[in-house]
A = this chain, B = another copy of it.
Amino acid sequence: MINLPIKGSGAYRVSAFRTHGYRTRRMAIDNGIPLITDIKCAKLFVEALRLVKGPPLMHPQVDCLTSHQVVRLPGLIDVHVHMREPGACHKETWTSGTLAALAGGITCVLAMPNTNPPCVGNAEFNTVNDLAESQAYCDYALYLGATANNSDKLAELAPTAAGLKMYLNETFAALKLDNVTDWIKHFNTFPRDRMIVCHAERQTLAAVIGVAAITNRPVHFCHVSNAEEIGIICEAKRNGLAVTCEVAPHHLLLTKDDVPEQLRAVKPPLGTAEDVQALWDNLKSIDCFATDHAPHTLEEKETSGPPGFPGVEVMLPLLLTEVAKKRLTMEDLIERLYTNPKRIFGLPDQPNTYVEVDLSEEWTIPTDGGFSKAKWTPFAGRKVSGRVRRVVIRGEEAFIDGQVLVKPGFGRNIRMEPTPRRTQRLPSIGGDSDAFQMEGPYKSVMRELAYRRGSGALLAPLKPISARTPAAYMPPRKTDSPPTSVPPW
């Protein structure tokens, strides 16, 4: 076994007891498996194999076995999160929220403006951006909030913003716009290279399509949640209107009966089984998955019942589980968490940014809610297949096996030029990321998936975790060669 300990916080963590790598090496020693943990030794070994000329004396089925299915995904984008800062740091901060995102395989979040004060003008934008800039663990951009009288000043701020958010139904915080003529004003004024996104349920959604038709511009709908809404959107798309939409995992995976009553409140509300089915039936019309990560503490939920669920940390495992169940394909997932968000919102590349997930790892979502200060999740206790192993942002290993390797403020506002202090780069680890960079994350994973599907490896039924031998973490490209063929060394 060749197992090279990777660099953690400044030193090689040969003896970081909690890592899979440590446990794997320990297991090799305990079971008498030959082990190389040093890069120089490994290079010498590979050179020796090369000199052998021809296959080495080993049985691939026995000597090169992994039960892990690690794939590399592009850095995922969550176009809908609430970071609660400023105004409600007891339930989330830019630190805790972006940590949770990172742990969930999300490398860029677009944050909503219903903070306190809300992000509805220049001063508030700077306040929020300063907080984000100093704390964020992943990249981000900030939405501006529409009010009855800020259409002119928002037009100026647009270039540095994620887009414009319009609250058109009752929700948390007070940014609701009632008068349709105000909507039209914003639709006419906000620059056309930035997207307008709307919280608009049922008839309100149709009303926004009306305003989009009147003003002849595209619009994106947040958290589409029921049969009626997805039905409208399907019809609109079928007739060539420029509408896009996102669906939150909780609307795709939970009905109102699945969550205890005192925790159930969310806007839009959880639907019926028919609503959930309608979303799945019309997956083609869903452009993005987005969490609507809206943390409230458990105490708040149980007393005043504010609407919203945390979500960034568990979205990817939940959706990977649907991939495992064949309700989704991996392409579906990547389109809705990377390709489409990037296209719809005109987001720049995050160079050399990707996420490695272990498709085969089955685990149960814990009740503690992870990094978010919400400290709960409506998905607690749910068994999922797939876990985020490694997140690399702009060449930096930001997260690996539950450990965060970058500092607060590492994340950047993707709409703004990096400030000087941010141009310092840590050296990237190994040659791996450079090779990756050459073909781009999406192409890479697609090629791999295409191969795997051919061999049936990706979607093969997973063995229960207890029955498996722990194996070394292997980057996905190493598994490209068919398992029955002779390894290249």
Contact = CB atoms under 8 A, between A and B. Distances in A.
Interface string A398-410: 0000000000000
Contact of A184 (B204, B216, B231): B231
Contact of A207 (B181, B206, B216, B241): B206
Given A180-B203, A203-B203, A203-B207, A213 B241 contact: yes
Contact of A241 (B204, B214, B228, B236): B214
Interface in A187-217: 202-216
Given A180-B228, A184-B232, A228-B180, A239 B210 contact: no
A185 B216 CA distance: 24
| A180, A206, A210, A232 — most chain B CB neighbours (10 Å) | A210
A208 B215 CA distance: 15
A235 interface: yes
**Identical copies in the complex:** 2
B215 A239 contact: yes
B214 A184 contact: no
A474 to B, nearest CB: 48
A133 to B, nearest CB: 38
A192 to B, nearest CB: 15
Contact of A210 (B181, B184, B210, B216): B210
A357 interface: no
A180 B202 CA distance: 7
B203 A232 contact: no
A181 B216 contact: no
Given A180-B232, A228-B180, A235-B184, A211 B206 contact: yes
29 contacts: A168-B203, A178-B203, A179-B228, A180-B205, A180-B228, A180-B231, A181-B235, A184-B231, A184-B232, A184-B235, A203-B203, A203-B204, A203-B207, A205-B210, A206-B207, A206-B211, A207-B207, A207-B210, A209-B211, A209-B213, A210-B212, A210-B213, A210-B236, A213-B213, A213-B236, A214-B239, A214-B241, A215-B239, A216-B239
Interface of A: 168, 178-181, 183-184, 202-216, 227-228, 231-232, 235-236, 239, 241
